[in-house]
Chain A
C-alpha cells in the first residue's frame, strides 16, 4: 500500500523531530527559546497527528494515530535519519531544524496542488509553519555562524555532524509510485538555494558529502532512535488498551 507507507514516512519524520525538539522544553539557552521550541514541536506533532490519522484511514485496519505512533518499534519507523539525530548543542538543534524545514517548505508548496484533498489541507497549514521554522532556525544559524569564535566553531561542527544525513531527504522512499505526493528529488534545487543563502550570511559553506548516510526509509536507523522510542512509548505500552 504505497500511500499508507508514504504517509507513515512523513508522519514519522514529524513525530520524531517534534519529540526531539520537545526534549529542550525548560532547558533552552533563554526564556524566549523555551517558548519558541515548544511552538515548533507543536507544529510538527500537530502535522504528525493528521498524517497518522489519515494513514490509518488509508490502511483501513482500524489503527488510529496513537496505535501508529506508540505501537511500532524502531525497525518499523520510517523516518529519515536526520530527524532522529540527538539534539546535541543548540547549534546542532537549530541546524537540524533548518535542514528539515528548508526541505518541507517546498514539499508542502508542491503538495498544495495535490489531487488528494487531505494532503492539500495538511499542506496549506504546514507550509506556513515551515516558512516560520526556516526563518527562526535560519536566523539562529546566521547569528551563531557570524557570532563569536566559539559559536562559529560549534556551528561548523554541526554542519559536519549533520550534513551527511541530508541526501536522504531527497530519496523517493515509498512515495515513488504515489502521484498525490510531491517528487522529493525535484526539491533539491530549492533546498540548496535556501541553505546557500543562509550559509552565505552565516559564513558557512555547504560541504560535499562523498558518502551520505541513508537507511531510515527502510527502518535501518542509528542507535539513538530506539532509546527515543523507548522513552516516548513507555507509558502507553505499560497500559495496553487503556485510554488517556
Chain B
C-alpha cells in the first residue's frame, strides 16, 4: 500500500544541456530507462527517494494491520489478513530490490528509515483502533494507493514500472477485501455498523491527504512529470479517488464525514470541503499519533534480530570455509 505524493524530492541535476536533452528525448519517446542506462543524477536521486519511501511504507504499513492479526474476529478473516500483511512485506522486498538497481543497498535504506532520515507514507502514523479499521485501510488506504500506483505502471524507470504491475494486482484484491469487510460490518449489528462509520470518519481525511498538497502548492511535481516518473497531478488523482469512493460508501449506507461534499454536475465530479493541511504537515513532519511507536517497533525488530542475522552470516562463512577445506 502507499502512497503519498513524494515527500521532499530534489530534481536538481548538473549534467550538460546536450545530455539532458538526449535523455528527455528518450523519455518523450516512452522508452523505458533501465538500471545500466546513463541518467541524470537528479533522476536517479528522485527515484531512489521515491522507491525507498514506497518500500518503507509497505514495511511500516505491516504494523497497523498486524495490530489486528491476533484479534481478527474469525479464522477466515485472520487468514486473509495474514495473507494481506504478507503481501505488503513482499511488496517491500520487491521495491527494495528495484531501488538497489539504482546503487543503494537495502541496509542503507533501512538505516535511513530507522534514523528518521527517510520518510514513509504518513497514513501509517494513525492508530488502528477497531476491527473496522482493517476494513477501512483496505478500502480507502489501498484504494488511494491504487490510484497513485496504476500510473506508476507506466513510470519511465523500467524496474519500478514492472514492480508496480504485480503490486497493483495485489492491491486491488486488498481493496476489494477491505470493502467487503466494511460491507459486512455496515450490514451487521448496530454496534458493527457504528464501528464501520467510526472507522470511515477517522480514515477518510487522512486518505485523501495521501495524494499530497494541492497542485498549486506542490513544488516538486513539474520535474517528476517531465521525467514521466509521475503522470497525473496530486489533485487529479485525489479527484479520481473521491469520485470512485463516494458511491461505494453510499452503496453500503455509510456517510462521508464531509458536510461540504457535493456532486458538481459541471465538472462531472465531487467537490469536497477544505482539507486540514496543518494536520497533514504535522503528521508528515513526524508528529502523527503513532509516529514514534512505529519507528520504535521497526528499530526494535531490527536490533532484536541482529544476533540472528550475524549468526546466519557466521554460519554461511563456516560452511564456505569447510567446503574449501574439503576440496
Task: Provide the residues of chain A in CB contact with B76, threshold 8 Å.
Answer: 49, 244
Partner of B311, one of A41, A48, A69, A147: A147
Q: Are B77 and A143 in contact (CB under 8 A)?
A: no
Interface residues of chain B: helix, strand, loop or mixed (majority):
helix
Question: Across the A-B interface, how many residue pairs have beta carbons closer than 8 Å?
Answer: 142
Of A2-10, A26-34, A168-176, the stretch lying at the interface with chain B is: A26-34
Given the known interface contacts A41-B82, A45-B82, A147-B311, the answer about A25 and B62 at a Cβ–Cβ threshold of 8 Å is yes
What is the interface size of chain B, counting residues whose CB is below 8 A from a CB of the partner? 49
Interface residues of chain A: helix, strand, loop or mixed (majority):
helix
Q: Counting CB contacts under 8 A, is A226 at the interface?
A: no
Q: Are A244 and B314 in contact (CB under 8 A)?
A: no
Quick one: CB contact mask for A61-74 with B, threshold 8 Å, 1 for yes? 00001100110000
Q: Counting CB contacts under 8 A, is A39 at the interface?
A: yes
What is the interface size of chain A, counting residues whose CB is below 8 A from a CB of the partner? 49
Quick one: CB contact mask for A202-244 with B, threshold 8 Å, 1 for yes? 0000000000000000000000000000011011100101111
Task: Provide the residues of chain B in CB contact with A19, threshold 8 Å.
Answer: 70
Q: Are A143 and B74 in contact (CB under 8 A)?
A: no
Given the known interface contacts A31-B92, A235-B71, the answer about A26 and B79 at a Cβ–Cβ threshold of 8 Å is no
Q: Are B188 and A26 in contact (CB under 8 A)?
A: no
Expressed in whole angstroms, the Cα–Cα distance for A45 and B74 within the complex equals: 11
Partner of B73, one of A48, A142, A235: A235
Expressed in whole angstroms, the Cα–Cα distance for A35 and B189 within the complex equals: 35
Expressed in whole angstroms, the Cα–Cα distance for A155 and B312 within the complex equals: 13
Q: Are A22 and B305 in contact (CB under 8 A)?
A: no
Task: Provide the residues of chain B in CB contact with A46, threshold 8 Å.
Answer: 79
Partner of B75, one of A26, A48, A150, A235: A48
Interface centre among B83, B93, B305, B306 (most CB of A within 10 A): B305
Partner of A26, one of B62, B181, B309, B310: B62
Task: Provide the residues of chain A in CB contact with B24, threshold 8 Å.
Answer: none
Interface centre among B59, B85, B106, B306 (most CB of A within 10 A): B85
Q: Counting CB contacts under 8 A, is A154 at the interface?
A: yes
Expressed in whole angstroms, the Cα–Cα distance for A142 and B191 within the complex equals: 50
Q: Counting CB contacts under 8 A, is B86 at the interface?
A: yes
Q: Counting CB contacts under 8 A, is B89 at the interface?
A: yes
Closest residue of chain B to A20 (Cβ to Cβ) is B70
Task: Provide the residues of chain A in CB contact with B86, threshold 8 Å.
Answer: 25, 34-35, 38-39, 42
Q: Are B305 and A235 in contact (CB under 8 A)?
A: no
Partner of A244, one of B73, B300, B318: B73
Q: Are B301 and A28 in contact (CB under 8 A)?
A: yes
Q: Are B308 and A26 in contact (CB under 8 A)?
A: no
Expressed in whole angstroms, the Cα–Cα distance for A33 and B306 within the complex equals: 13
Q: Counting CB contacts under 8 A, is B72 at the interface?
A: yes
Given the known interface contacts A29-B305, A30-B308, A243-B188, the answer about A143 and B315 at a Cβ–Cβ threshold of 8 Å is yes
Q: Counting CB contacts under 8 A, is B44 at the interface?
A: no
Chain B contact residues, CB within 8 Å of chain A: 59, 62-63, 66, 69-79, 82-83, 85-86, 89-90, 92-93, 96, 106, 131, 181, 184-185, 188-189, 191-192, 297, 300-302, 304-312, 314-315, 318
